[in-house]
Amino acid sequence: MQAVQLIAHGKPGQFQLHDLPDPKPAVGEVVAQVFACGLNHLDLWLEEGGLPLPIPLPRTPGCEIAGAILATGEGVRDWKRGDRVAVQSNIFCGQCEYCSHGEESLCLNSQMVGVERDGGFAEQVVVPERALAELPHNVDFVTSAALTLAGSTAMHMLTSRATVRAGDWVLVIGASSGVGSAAIQIARQLGARVIATASSREKQDLALKLGAEHVVNTNNESWPAEVRKITSKHGVNLVVEHIGGKVLEQAFNCLARGGAVVACGATAGREVMLNLWPFFVKEHRLIGSYGRNRVDLKRTLEWAAAGKLLPVVHRIFPLAETPRAFAALRERTVLGKLVMRTSSA
């Protein structure tokens, strides 16, 4: 099979496309033919060596995998060749105290596919059967590859970690990202009024098209004041945040009394300053959110099948253009998702 491998850290773009032996499934595993795989900021961190974990190289990236089962290992009973599947990227053990409560995002033995084991920038991938979710018949591989990770991350934030009530104001940071573009749609489906942040005209237009009522430009330093003005000084009930750094600090200036910031990432900085006086006086909350649970992934795919959650696909690349795809994501001009087409359907 053809597979992309990251061969070195240190400078961007050190990928090679190789012919590798087809993988074999061990007990409880399946081999899937990968048809599409989304690109995520996590992949950039893998490329940069910017994750706080050791990454043995070479490594095949790709954590947002959609495909069909080619072969099943011993003991696999619930899946058969040809089944169309999405892969839950945070591969969980299914046995620890958290997994036993359905809290796979907190699994004590979790493994990120495409980071800690080879991922979906390849024609085939091997994963444990417990990581599979069935694709609804009307959800195609590209849609799945654009929503499985980013969409279910947003679903986890808005429906499992935080609560959104009809009529709430929700501020979505980074409208044009995978998480942001899904979060706008999910918040709207939950009955919220959405304000989004975006830094260019194209990104602002996308946010409005996805259902945001207002868009503020984060290049304008006073954007939190603008958010307060839009909400008649009330502030927003929830901020969906995945940038970190200064943006997370400013997000608290947008909050209503009793409001919460739910945060799932830190692309702009992992260390922040927080003024604790307004934090406790206004009974604010900061909620961490990591990955997703089965329930979030299944809901994401159900909503995609029902047309309630649409993928925003900026561009599809062949495997041979992996370095170009990474460069495009790094430039931050992408609207929605980049997806790799890994095998022809």
Please, which residue, 92 or 141, has the CB nearer to Zn ion? Answer: 92
Helix (H, G, I), strand (E, B) or coil at 134: strand
In the window 78-107, what residues touch Zn ion (CB under 5 A)? 92-93, 96, 99, 107
Question: What is the C-alpha separation between 110 and 293, in angstroms, rounded?
Answer: 12
In the window 220-239, what residues touch Zn ion (CB under 5 A)? none
Q: Least distance (Å) from Zn ion to the CB of residue 37?
A: 24
Q: Which amino acid appears at position 57 of this protein?
A: L
Quick note: the x/- pattern for Zn ion over 44-83, rule CB under 5 A, is: ----------------------------------------
Structure token digits, residue 127: 């994963």
Structure token digits, residue 322: 């992996």
Quick note: the x/- pattern for Zn ion over 115-154, rule CB under 5 A, is: ----------------------------------------
Please, which residue, 111 or 343, has the CB nearer to Zn ion? Answer: 111
Q: Least distance (Å) from Zn ion to the CB of residue 232?
A: 45
Q: Least distance (Å) from Zn ion to the CB of residue 28?
A: 14
Please, which residue, 34 or 107, has the CB nearer to Zn ion? Answer: 107
Please, which residue, 190 or 295, has the CB nearer to Zn ion? Answer: 295
Question: What is the C-alpha separation between 153 and 250, in angstroms, rounded?
Answer: 22
For residue 209, CA distances in Å to 12, 77, 120, 188, 194 come to 33, 43, 30, 12, 12
Among 103, 94, 167, CA closest to 127: 94
Q: Return the ∠ at Cα 34 (arms to 103 and 156), rounded to 5°.
A: 25
Phi, psi of 14 (to 5 degrees): -90, 70
38 burial (CB, 10 Å; 0-12 / 13-18 / 19+) is buried
177 burial (CB, 10 Å; 0-12 / 13-18 / 19+) is buried
Q: Least distance (Å) from Zn ion to the CB of residue 107?
A: 3
Q: Which amino acid appears at position 325 of this protein?
A: A
Q: Least distance (Å) from Zn ion to the CB of residue 108?
A: 5
In the window 281-310, what residues touch Zn ion (CB under 5 A)? none
Q: Least distance (Å) from Zn ion to the CB of residue 71?
A: 25
If binding means CB under 5 A, how many residues of this protein chain bind Zn ion?
5
Structure token digits, residue 325: 């795809």
Q: Least distance (Å) from Zn ion to the CB of residue 217?
A: 42
Q: Least distance (Å) from Zn ion to the CB of residue 266?
A: 24
Please, which residue, 152 or 231, has the CB nearer to Zn ion? Answer: 152
Please, which residue, 15 or 92, has the CB nearer to Zn ion? Answer: 92
Please, which residue, 156 or 188, has the CB nearer to Zn ion? Answer: 156
Structure token digits, residue 168: 């709430």
For the chain, how long is the longest CA-to-CA vector?
A: 61
Q: Is 112 in the site for Zn ion (CB under 5 A)?
A: no
Please, which residue, 20 or 96, has the CB nearer to Zn ion? Answer: 96
Structure token digits, residue 5: 């491998």
Q: Which amino acid appears at position 194 of this protein?
A: V
Residues that bind Zn ion (CB under 5 A): 92-93, 96, 99, 107
